[in-house]
Structure 1
Amino acid sequence: MDQQDTTRAAAVAATGPRRLAHATERFDGPTTLYRMYDQADRLLYIGITCNTSQRWDSHRALSPWWPLVARKELTVYPDRRAALVAETAAIGAEAPSYNVSSNPRAGRRDVHLVLKGERAKALADLARAEHLSISRFVMKLVDTALAQAAGDPDMDEALRRVRVTTQKGGRR
């Protein structure tokens, strides 16, 4: 094993295997920084992309905050590096509600769950029947389950672990 292989092996041991770069990380052309706002003009999310329509599709499918978006603000940078620097600074200064990375409010833990098909439809129907957003309905379900489980030693231990994890915060 030569010196370069030894160095690479030490780096992998210390940091884990290198992940494959996302396609946009290899793109070095014009890159858009976007801000998403709700109807009350509260900042929901800041991100960057080289393909806005593909990114909107991704957010639409995966981001729990997407239905809240009422307005988008776009700024185009000459390359990905410039957009990334601007994104990091903006998230740190503006603290959007749903960003985790570089966000001073990121000590919280968010749960992201993707439901598809009949489960998604059933959850949406139940939330609508309660006149609640899906997020608020899920929080109501969790609160009800926690109240019913109070005093259960197994549940108490699980909740203690969740509280410890939540207090530690950090990235998902």
Structure 2
Amino acid sequence: MDQQNLRTPSRQVIAPPRPAHATDRYDGPTFLYRLYDDADRLLYIGVTCNPTSRWGGHRKDKDWWGQVARKDLTTYPNRSAALTAEQETIAAEKPLHNVQHNPLSNLRHVHLVVSGDRARKLEALARSMHVSLTGAVLHLIDEAHDPRLAATDSDPDMDEALRRARTSRTAVTA
């Protein structure tokens, strides 16, 4: 064994204590709250010992807060019981804006079904965005000057892609 390793004192790393929050010290009656929109869809489920203060925080930092039309409170004897109920309730009721404990929050793809006038408007918007973006990209390509490319032969695949894009832009705008 290396002599130097025997003489090197071991270091113990101790993490600094986490700052205490008021709710960490409180273990009295605690509320589980449900927030609903005007169509009675469940928006959010949370736990607090002070609903007024908690909802004031949501009002400041949640973009969905303006949708809240109804609030329901359930009282639990202590914070631990409320937190357990919160986890079970979120998993069972799947509110729209909860991330933690919510199996729906893992979804990465959303399929939207629209029809009628909304579908036509959405299609027109998509077409307009496609034309604008295609035009902007082609403008950047046309205006770009790269001296490194001037000395090499042009790339036939790139030429074909540009030709298709220009044809597509003309066809869509017509």
Q: How would you bin the TM-score normalised by the shorter chain?
A: 0.5 to 0.7
Give the residue type in structure 2 aligned to 1:71. Answer: R
What residue is the counterpart of 1:119 in the other structure? none
How many angstroms apart in 1 are the aligned matches of 2:133 and 2:26? Answer: 50
How many angstroms apart in 2 are the aligned matches of 1:34 and 1:98? Answer: 13
TM-score, normalising length from structure 1?
0.54
How do 1:12-161 residues align onto structure 2 when only pairs under 5 Å count? Answer: 19-108=18-107, 147=130, 148-149=132-133
Q: Aligned pair in 2 of structure 1 residues 107, 18: CA closer, same or farther (>3 Å)?
A: farther
How many angstroms does 1:19 deviate by? 4.1
How many angstroms apart in 2 are the aligned matches of 1:99 and 1:18? Answer: 28
How many angstroms apart in 2 are the aligned matches of 1:75 and 1:57? Answer: 19
From the CA coordinates, give the structure whose radius of gyration is larger: 2
How many angstroms does 1:82 deviate by? 0.4
Q: CA offsets, 1:99-125, max 9 Å, x none?
A: 00000011157xxxxxxxxxxxxxxxx
Name the Cα RMSD after superposition.
3.1
How many angstroms does 1:79 deviate by? 0.6
In structure 2, runs of 5+ residues without a counterpart are 1-10, 109-125, 138-174
SS in 2 for 1:106: helix
Q: Which of 17-26 and 53-62 deviates more?
A: 17-26
Give the residue type in structure 1 aligned to 2:102. Answer: N
TM-score, normalising length from structure 2?
0.54
Q: CA offsets, 1:27-54, max 9 Å, x none?
A: 1111100000111111000000001110
How many angstroms apart in 1 are the aligned matches of 2:28 and 2:63? Answer: 29
Q: Aligned pair in 2 of structure 1 residues 56, 28: CA closer, same or farther (>3 Å)?
A: same
Identical-residue share of aligned pairs (%): 52
Give the residue type in structure 2 aligned to 1:57. Answer: G
Structure 1 residue runs of 4 or more that deviate by more than 3 Å after TM superposition: 146-152
